[in-house]
Chains A and B, each alone.
Chain A
């Protein structure tokens, strides 16, 4: 007898509630986006997504996302390695600072960059003398994107590396392997799926960031507008078809991310089981 499968009626009630809830809150908005995007026919849709400004916005989004993924991958791997392979003072504090960005409101994230690099900052004259502009320009957007996705990769790697322990690295080190060899041959095989998973999450969040980017963008059409900002612009100009058409691109990307997540998780679970 299986204690956990007793109550059929309860099961159907709970499953039904879940389907209705997710149907209304998650599926319906997706369907709505697609339908509205196609309201004015395929031609209208194609027009909207191939608009010059839409493409420029998409390119900027890709640029910011690529930067965020590269920086956060380097950081995430270094930080996860540091935290799980060595004992040192201040480790807890370090972890807190790494996790901090996701608990801060995106608007506040934007604000602190404005305070750091804006006109009133003492850094401003120095940067200005080199002709570097950060806020209301592309570097600000990139920085904000890095910030909001900051812990995404390290957070996926740390549990896997913790479960794996340090025995294998110590064995390799005693046999004389250098850092790079140890990482490549010993550590990396353990974390490859978790790393990929972190990169997928980081990409998803980076391309969709709105609040922080909104603060730091100059909202210049074709210059500092990312895709989500461009959608806002169209929406506020009552160009709903355009807004939803641009949104549909992000919907497709989100669905791809979800599918990737399931695939990677399947592999990653096997890996985590092996580590145990």
Chain B
């Protein structure tokens, strides 16, 4: 049952149309990512749910009630800001207690709650520290505790990992995911990093140019991108201009644009592959990038530069070498939709062998 819903939301900033007919429905207890490039309107959606922005039209519904005219502080929301916005002149204790104090909660209850949260975020003993004396990860946890202190029903996080360095970021992702699962609180976070969204979220809402492109589980988005944008944005896709020139792919739509992911492509040294010997195409290697655990090979084929991943255990390939390329699948753009096309030689594999 949907807990947070947005119906036909539109929002302008002066002439900029930031949100276009947004419809979203989020179930209780889910951890949802709003994913999109910068300027795609994801933060605006989050800020409207929080009551920091008012939509020009449309309804925001939380727990069955329209909350458009309810101030953000009364929507049962906790908000973790991008740079945490911890109050610099208050120590950790006072920061976490702030939301309880303004609600006139008795001081002994506040103490109980703050202590409980400090234990939860593993920051016991830091209550007297000021924000400037905390590490990035600690700040993030304190911001999390401050947002949770008044017992919100929904937790909103604006780019929660953006301000943290790469190494700690991975740890914090896991931590946050565990925390939210443990507390079973409906959470929505904004990110521009697809790995982050895929790894952390139960469900992803992809935004682009003020619209919602697609929403679904990470697997769904990955397997069945609904729009050309999603096909191109998720995975390290490259655009292919004339896919119908590839062997065993026939033109199905009006245009011949398609998206190709590295994992859809295999590259073999001459004579290496028996299986695809007859159905592969020849191409010349233009670049080789060592990625640590594997090797990315870039080849030019029918005027398109495409990538494939090769295991480091396979025989070495050099730049300028002519290789066999076999493409399993591509996402073909048909108008506003995307269709998965499979190499037709795979259908009559028996004949090939």
A–B touching in complex (CB under 8 Å): yes
A126 at the interface (CB under 8 A from B): no
CA distance A1 to B52 in the complex (A): 6
Q: In the bound complex, how far is the Cα of B53 from the Cα of A5, in angstroms?
A: 13
- For residue B51, which residues in chain A have a CB less than 8 angstroms away from its CB? 1
Task: List the A side residues contacting B54 at CB < 8 Å.
Answer: 1
Q: How far is the CA of A3 from the CA of B85 in the complex (A)?
A: 15
Q: Is the interface of B mostly helix, strand, loop or mixed?
A: loop
Question: Residue of A at shortest CB range from B53?
Answer: A1
Closest-CB distance, B235 to chain A (whole angstroms): 37
CB proximity of A3 to chain B, nearest CB, Å: 8
A-B CB contacts (within 8 Å), total count: 5
Cα distance A1–B48 in the bound complex, in angstroms: 9
Q: Which residue of A lies closest to B47 (CB)?
A: A1
Contacts of A1 in B (CB 8 A): 51-54
Interface residues of B (CB under 8 A from A): 51-54
Interface residues contributed by chain A, number (CB under 8 Å): 2
Q: Give the distance in Å from the alpha carbon of A1 to the alpha carbon of B51 in the complex.
A: 8
- Shortest Cβ gap from A1 to chain B (Å): 5
- Bound CA span A197–B66, Å: 55
Q: Which residues of A contact B52 (CB under 8 A)?
A: 1, 3
Distance, CA A59 to CA B63, complexed state (A): 80
A-B contact pairs, 5 of them (CB 8 A): A1-B51, A1-B52, A1-B53, A1-B54, A3-B52
- B54's nearest neighbour on chain A, judged by CB, is A1
Q: Bound complex: CA of A146 vs CA of B51, how far in Å? A: 57
Min CB distance A239 to B, Å, is 56
Residues of A within 8 Å of B53, CB to CB, are 1
* Interchain nearest-CB distance for A5 vs B (Å): 13
> How far apart are the CA atoms of A1 and B71 in the complex, in Å?
10
Contacts of A3 in B (CB 8 A): 52
Interface residue ranges of A1-37 to B (CB < 8 Å): 1, 3
Cα distance, A3 to B72, chains bound together (Å)? 11
A9–B159 alpha-carbon span in the complex (Å): 36
In chain A, what residue has the closest Cβ to B72?
A1
Q: Mark A34-72, 1 if CB is under 8 A from B, else 0.
A: 000000000000000000000000000000000000000
Residue of B nearest to A2 (CB): B53
B52 to chain A minimum Cβ distance, whole angstroms, is 7
| CB proximity of A166 to chain B, nearest CB, Å | 27
For the complex, give the distance between the alpha carbons of A3 and B50 in Å. 13
**Minimum distance in angstroms from B56 CB to a CB of chain A:** 12
Task: A3 to B52: give the CA distance in the assembly, Å.
Answer: 8
